[in-house]
């Protein structure tokens, strides 16, 4: 098998804009920058494809230039092709792959630092494989959650739509008929008619209020106060709070595993993950943990002061630190949490379906009974 051409991975003397592991000021400058998410970054699916293809081609003995040629030629979308052409051109001009990805502005520092460590240690293939596996697991987890919750959400939306239709159109029609006949209406019928009237009178006010709340949430979604309040509210929701916590703990552990396995110093790994985790309880905890480690505390000792980290996880981290196998234990914790999330999501989906149907069937039943009770009373009065 031909040898892999790693000459392009050599770290060159570059300008201040380059990422240099040996230059402490430039690293601190990078760590202080925010990692962009959303439309500015390449999608997880495209990242998975890029790392999987590059890792496989390099493993097969193809050099980086030819690997990038093949990856670029396989792109169907013009936007993706332009991005990969720019990366390829940057590498041809002498940049490392990690620097080329950083200059594109569509990759996180998490990936840039991991690849840089791989380049400098000669483990670029292992890092690419790890990154591909990371995004595979992330996509797989998201798909399972979406798949498990799609049907219950569709059932709930359609059922709520049916209830809204009945309250907005059917109940007022029956209410007009009852008023013409006069007489005393049953208590439950009066309540349902009042609810329907309140809905009709306040529909546009409610719609405007909902839009304003949505705008406010979108505007303040990145503020620390909003994140703190929202995370506390979510964590207090039965079942859901624990599920959300384990999703982010799994991502945290998987990220730690990858960065530690890439031989990134623990302090820098925590600083990077703090910027990319985007979950306030872990984000705020890592800020204090980072400071504690600089003061000489171990990772597990600092983690003990935060309730977001389970006791079992802290004990495993302690063993990992004592045996110098943190990456191994973080991998095991991540796998365990991913399995728990998948199981709980599946269980929650199975439990939600009948509960939603029963609850909304109960609501629809009450509305129908309240509408038919006056009809029964009127039929009895005619006899």
Q: Round to whole Å and give the CA distance between 132 and 150.
A: 26
The pLDDT of residue 19: 32
Average pLDDT over residues 341-352: 80
Query: 360-378: per-residue pLDDT in tens?
Result: 888 888 888 887 777 776 6
Give the pLDDT of residue 183. Answer: 61
Residue with the larger pLDDT of the pair 27 and 158: 158
How sure is the predictor about 228, in pLDDT bands with cuts at 50, 70 and 90? confident
Mean pLDDT computed over 224-236: 85
pLDDT bin (cut points 50, 70, 90) of residue 6 is very low
pLDDT range class, residue 380, cuts 50, 70, 90: low
In percent, how much of the chain has pLDDT > 70? 87
Q: Do the Cβ atoms of 158 and 359 come closer than 8 Å?
A: no
What confidence tier does 32 reach under pLDDT thresholds 50, 70, 90? very low
Average pLDDT of the residues in 203-230: 85
At 293, list the tokens.
């480690």
Share of the chain above pLDDT 90, in %: 11
Rounded CA separation 342/2 (Å): 42
- Say which residues have a Cβ less than 8 Å from residue 164's Cβ, sequence separation at least 6: 199
Distance CA 270, CA 287 (A): 8
Per-residue pLDDT, 27: 31
**Where is average pLDDT lowest: 31-35, 167-171, 301-305, 365-369?**
31-35
How many other β-carbons are positioned within 10 Å of the β-carbon of residue 146?
A: 11
Domains 41-136 and 233-350 share a fold: yes
Per-residue tokens: 240: 């859901």
- Looking at the predicted structure, is the pLDDT value of residue 215 above 60? yes
Return the structure tokens found at 331.
């991998």
Phi, psi of 11 (to 5 degrees): -80, 120
Q: Kindly indicate the confidence band of residue 18, based on its pLDDT and cuts at 50, 70 and 90.
A: very low
Residues 231 and 266: their CA atoms lie apart, in Å, by 26
- Model confidence at 34: pLDDT above 70: no
Q: Tell whether the model's pLDDT for residue 196 goes beyond 70.
A: yes
The confidence score (pLDDT) of residue 8 equals 35
The pair of structure tokens assigned to 47 is 């990242």
pLDDT of 109: 77
Q: What is the mean pLDDT of residues 223-241?
A: 84
Task: Give residue 191's pLDDT band: very low, low, confident or very high (50, 70, 90).
Answer: confident
Q: Is 172's pLDDT higher than 90? A: no
Average pLDDT taken over every residue of the chain? 79
Higher pLDDT, 212 or 155: 212
The structure tokens listed for 225 are 């106060």
* Domain spans, the chain: 41-136, 233-350
The band of 98, judged by pLDDT with boundaries at 50, 70 and 90, is: confident
DSSP codes, 17-63:
TS--TT-HHHHHHHHTSPPP-GGGSPPHHHHHHHHHHHHHHHHTT--
Q: Is residue 186's pLDDT more than 60? A: yes
pLDDT at 22 over 80: no
When computed from its CA atoms, the radius of gyration of the chain, rounded to whole angstroms, is 28
pLDDT at 286: 92
pLDDT at residue 232 tops 60: yes
Instruction: Determine the 3-state secondary structure of 19 from DSSP.
Output: coil
Q: What is 41-136's CATH number?
A: 1.20.81.30
What is the DSSP code string of 200-219?
Answer: HHTHHHHHHHHHHHHHHHHH
Return the pLDDT at 292. Answer: 92
Instruction: Note the pLDDT of residue 333.
Output: 92
* pTM of the predicted model as reported, rounded to 2 decimal places: 0.67
pLDDT of the residue at 318: 92
Q: Which superfamily, per CATH, for 233-350? A: Type II secretion system (T2SS), domain F (1.20.81.30)
Which stretches does DSSP call E strand in the chain?
none
Can you tell me the distance from the alpha carbon of 316 to that of 322, in angstroms, rounded to the nearest whole number? 10
DSSP label at residue 77: S
104: pLDDT strictly greater than 90:
no
């Amino acid at each position: 098998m031909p040898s892999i051409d790693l000459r392009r991975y050599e770290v060159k003397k570059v300008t201040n804009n380059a990422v240099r592991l040996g230059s402490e000021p430039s690293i601190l400058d990078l760590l202080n920058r925010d990692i962009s998410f959303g439309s500015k970054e390449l999608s997880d699916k495209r990242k998975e494809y890029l790392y999987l293809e590059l890792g496989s081609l390099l493993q097969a003995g193809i050099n980086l230039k030819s690997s990038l040629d093949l990856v670029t030629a396989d792109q169907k979308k013009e936007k993706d092709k332009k991005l990969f052409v720019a990366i390829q051109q940057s590498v041809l001009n002498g940049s490392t792959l990690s620097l080329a990805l950083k200059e594109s502005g569509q990759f996180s520092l998490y990936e840039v630092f991991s690849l840089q460590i791989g380049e400098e240690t000669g483990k670029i293939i292992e890092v690419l494989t790890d990154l591909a596996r990371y995004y595979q697991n992330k996509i797989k987890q998201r798909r399972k959650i979406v798949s498990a919750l799609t049907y219950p959400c569709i059932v709930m939306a359609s059922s709520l739509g049916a209830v809204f239709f009945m309250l907005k159109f059917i109940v007022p029609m029956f209410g007009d008929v009852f008023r013409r006949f006069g007489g005393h209406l049953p208590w439950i019928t009066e309540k349902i008619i009042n609810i329907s009237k309140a809905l009709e009178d306040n529909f546009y006010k409610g719609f405007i209020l909902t839009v304003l709340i949505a705008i406010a949430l979108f505007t303040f979604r990145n503020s620390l106060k909003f994140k703190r309040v929202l995370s506390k509210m979510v964590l207090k929701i039965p079942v859901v709070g624990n599920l959300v916590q384990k999703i982010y703990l799994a991502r945290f552990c998987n990220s730690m595993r990858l960065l530690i396995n890439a031989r990134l110093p623990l302090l820098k790994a925590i600083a990077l993950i703090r910027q990319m985790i985007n979950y306030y309880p872990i984000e705020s905890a890592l800020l204090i943990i980072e400071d504690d480690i600089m003061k000489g505390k171990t990772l597990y000792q600092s983690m003990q002061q935060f309730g977001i980290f389970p006791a079992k996880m802290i004990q495993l981290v302690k063993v990992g630190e004592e045996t110098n196998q943190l990456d191994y234990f973080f991998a095991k914790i991540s796998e365990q949490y991913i399995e728990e999330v998948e199981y709980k999501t599946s269980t929650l989906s199975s439990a939600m379906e009948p509960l939603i149907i029963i609850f909304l069937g109960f609501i629809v039943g009450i509305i129908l009974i309240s509408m038919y009770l006056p009809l029964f009373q009127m039929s009895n009065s005619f006899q």
